[in-house]
Amino acid sequence: MGGVSTLCARVRNWDHWRMSDAASTASFRAARDLLLRHREDYGAARASFAWPELEQFNWALDWFDVIAAEHPERTALRVVSEEGLSQGTTPLSPPGKARGDESVSYAEMAARSARAANWLRGLGVRRGDRMLLMLGNIVPLWEVMLAAMKLGAVVIPASTLLQPADLADRIERGGVAHVVAEADQVPKFDGLPGGWTRVVVGDAAGWHAYADSAAAPAEFTPEGVGGLGGAGGRGGVGGMTRASDPLLLYFTSGTTSKPKLVGHTQVSYPVGHLSTMYWIGIQPGDVHLNISSPGWAKHAWSNLFAPWNAQATVLILNQSRFNAAGLLRALGDCAVTTFCAPPTVWRMLIQADLAAADVAAMRECVAAGEPLNPEVIERVRKAWGITVRDGFGQTETTAQVGNSPGQPVKPGSMGRPLPGYPVVLVDPLTGIPGKDGEICLDLTSRPLGLMTGYLYDAERDAEAMSGGYYHTGDVATSDADGYITYVGRTDDVFKASDYRISPFELESVLIEHEAVAEAAVVPSPDPVRLAVPKAYVLLAAGAAAGPELARDIMAFCRERVAPYKRIRRIEFADLPKTISGKIRRVELREAETEARERGVTEFWEEDFSW
């Protein structure tokens, strides 16, 4: 006990750029190391793992800076563009030397994030302040994420696909005090109300240039412990961060007109993603490639927390447009050891020459976001000798269920509950756990990776946490061995190209068109994207169904929603309704799954030139 106290006292004195709570670091490391030891022993991992009990924890200071001191020269982040690949990037040549190939070591990342934190503090960023972060896959994204954690600020990740209306909503409901964006995104903020601090990566008139942060000191001293409110409690003693302090706010689509606000703490995502690390199978020194866009939870899952929890290298492949051949080449050129991609990408890859990829270094392949087709898994296995393993989680949680390394994979199943997750299937009608039902988490053993709740929506929050369970809204079945097979959503929200789509949101846009009386949006099967948004449209009096009107409605939506939300198919038809007048989307969804020819009043995006 005396040794721990001495160590805590020593590291709490300033040592280069970090101040670490050694007891918290040790507790986190012990939990992490247990999972690494049992990476292929699912039974032992499930039986012996327990979430670390942390009262104070700042992942950037108490973990990242600590491991950066242990292996300062190891590459923390490598961002390779198409230009970098075209120059023959290889793991044997020093990374980061060619144009389009930038690498940052752990020591450099720790120092850069400290400078960014000091500079942002100078602009007024304080513990509890909310910062909207709208950057692409560029190095400053990781620097600012770590800097925000060190400051105790709350990050609101934002996709670069968002439009001004989306941003206005996030700024207002998110209580945004600071915005960090790339120069090409700045015009989207023109005219948006608020006195928020403006920081730009690049150049923009009236915005603070992020490049100036490079001149700030590389020694960072955190402020006192703060509360949830942002303005209060900033002057605490000791500079430590409470584990329960907020860290992330994600806007995620729901069945209501506006996205929900999902809150995560300083530990629920950073520490909670130990389950994600275990599922993927990342080990220290690995090179991990994940295909995901910033702004979405999966980016934080596999491009930040899981790989750096494992002391691995995050590899980013920046392609202006997805190129299967370029991705396959990168697997060998960059010596990728673990690879994660959404099913949409996997379906594109099997249409390319899988055998052309050099997978000598590859050990693990996983897929998440939606169920992966068994034939895709089989084709990859035949070409690479590696089984792609499914997993399941949500923005609200870290990885809950998965096929973990070294375990048998059953076709169609997404695996078994991961260590630390008390998953039960609850009958929606009786509320009794069984072999089939809604995927729920038992709150008597609340997992650390579960969100704090939905902010400003007490009704939805109470519904999600009712009956002693957290309700995912997803339905599944299980077998005698505990393997869980995904069935679908309990509501109408669906995935298209790995993006979550809210029908209500799109329908609200559609009915703004003068020719649309009513509309219902459902997923329509697509061989590449798995599903695309399709609108069944009941026309207003006087409007005539035809290709010109279909194109006009699609164009109308294109101007008002992000690209991933576009209506890609339209069918003019009457809408089936219940006796109370509610649209029966279930009937429309069933019609889409039936094999049938396109009707004369159905039009697809591909029918038109844009």
d(CA 488, CA 475): 5
543 lies in the same domain as 460: no
464 lies in the same domain as 500: no
Task: For residue 423, give the CATH number of its domain.
Answer: 3.40.50.12780
Which residues face 287 on adjacent strands?
313
Q: Are strands 287-290 and 313-318 parallel, antiparallel or unpaired?
A: parallel
pLDDT in tens, 408-421: 999 889 999 999 99
In terms of average pLDDT, the best of 180-194, 365-379, 570-584 is: 180-194
| Cα 318 to chain centroid, rounded | 17
pLDDT number for residue 2: 38
d(CA 338, CA 157): 25
371 lies in the same domain as 505: no
Work out the pLDDT band at 230, boundaries 50, 70, 90: very low
Closest CA relative to residue 56, chosen from 30, 22, 18, 31: 22
pLDDT above 90 (res 311):
yes
| Across 437-451, average pLDDT | 97
- 92 vs 150, residue with greater confidence: 150
- Of the listed ranges 97-106, 167-176, 247-256, 329-338, the least confidently predicted one is 247-256
Burial bucket for residue 472 (CB in 10 Å: 0-12, 13-18, 19+): buried
* 152, part of any domain: yes
* 572, part of any domain: yes
Contact between 114 and 17 (Cβ < 8 Å): yes
Closest CA relative to residue 31, chosen from 45, 47, 52: 52
Task: For residue 512, give the CATH number of its domain.
Answer: 3.30.300.30
pTM of the model: 0.80
- Alpha-carbon dihedral angle through residues 193, 113, 151, 61, given to the nearest 10 degrees: 150
Q: How many of the other CB atoms lie within 10 Å of CB of 175?
A: 19
d(CA 521, CA 536): 6
pLDDT number for residue 356: 93
Closest CA relative to residue 593, chosen from 535, 531, 501: 531
Burial bucket for residue 469 (CB in 10 Å: 0-12, 13-18, 19+): buried
524 lies in the same domain as 427: no
What percent of the chain shows pLDDT beyond 90?
71
* Total domains in the fold of the chain: 3
Evaluate the CA torsion angle 33, 39, 42, 44 in order and state its sign: negative
Closest CA relative to residue 91, chosen from 356, 384, 336: 336
Amino acid at 180: V
- Residue in the structure block whose two tokens are 């599903």: 531
203 lies in the same domain as 299: yes
pLDDT above 80 (res 579):
no
46 lies in the same domain as 75: no
Contact between 153 and 125 (Cβ < 8 Å): yes
Token pair listed for 265: 């703490």
Q: Are strands 208-209 and 197-201 parallel, antiparallel or unpaired?
A: parallel
| Residue after which a domain boundary falls, among 442, 474, 506 | 474
> Which secondary structure element, helix H or strand E, spans residue 503, and what is its range?
helix 503-510
pLDDT number for residue 490: 74
Q: How many of the other CB atoms lie within 10 Å of CB of 581?
A: 6
39 lies in the same domain as 167: no
Backbone angles phi, psi at 39, to 5 degrees: -60, -25
pLDDT number for residue 253: 63
- 230 vs 310, residue with greater confidence: 310
Q: Phi-psi region for residue 431, left (φ > 0), alpha (ψ -120 to 50) or beta? A: left
pLDDT number for residue 186: 98
Beta strands in 354-478 (DSSP E): 364-367, 388-393, 399-402, 416-417, 423-426, 433-434, 436-442, 453-454, 469-478
* 377, part of any domain: yes
* 224, part of any domain: yes
Backbone angles phi, psi at 89, to 5 degrees: -55, 130
465 lies in the same domain as 517: no
Contact between 335 and 309 (Cβ < 8 Å): no
d(CA 132, CA 127): 14
d(CA 276, CA 304): 11
Work out the pLDDT band at 245, boundaries 50, 70, 90: very high
* 376, part of any domain: yes
- Of the listed ranges 35-39, 92-96, 151-155, the least confidently predicted one is 92-96
What percent of the chain shows pLDDT beyond 70?
89
Closest CA relative to residue 143, chosen from 179, 176, 111, 169: 111
- 100 vs 191, residue with greater confidence: 191
For the chain, what is the mean pLDDT?
Answer: 88
In terms of average pLDDT, the best of 142-156, 340-354, 486-500 is: 142-156
pLDDT number for residue 160: 93
* 486, part of any domain: no
pLDDT above 50 (res 285):
yes
* 537, part of any domain: yes
179 lies in the same domain as 125: yes
431 lies in the same domain as 501: no
pLDDT above 80 (res 238):
no
Contact between 137 and 316 (Cβ < 8 Å): yes
Q: Which residues lie closer than 8 Å to 93 by C-beta, 6 or more apart?
A: none
Q: Which domain holds residue 528?
A: 494-607
d(CA 409, CA 425): 20
* 479, part of any domain: no
pLDDT in tens, 523-578: 999 988 889 999 999 998 899 999 999 999 999 999 999 999 999 999 999 998 75
509 lies in the same domain as 468: no
pLDDT number for residue 3: 37
142 lies in the same domain as 217: yes
- Of the listed ranges 59-68, 246-255, 452-461, the least confidently predicted one is 246-255
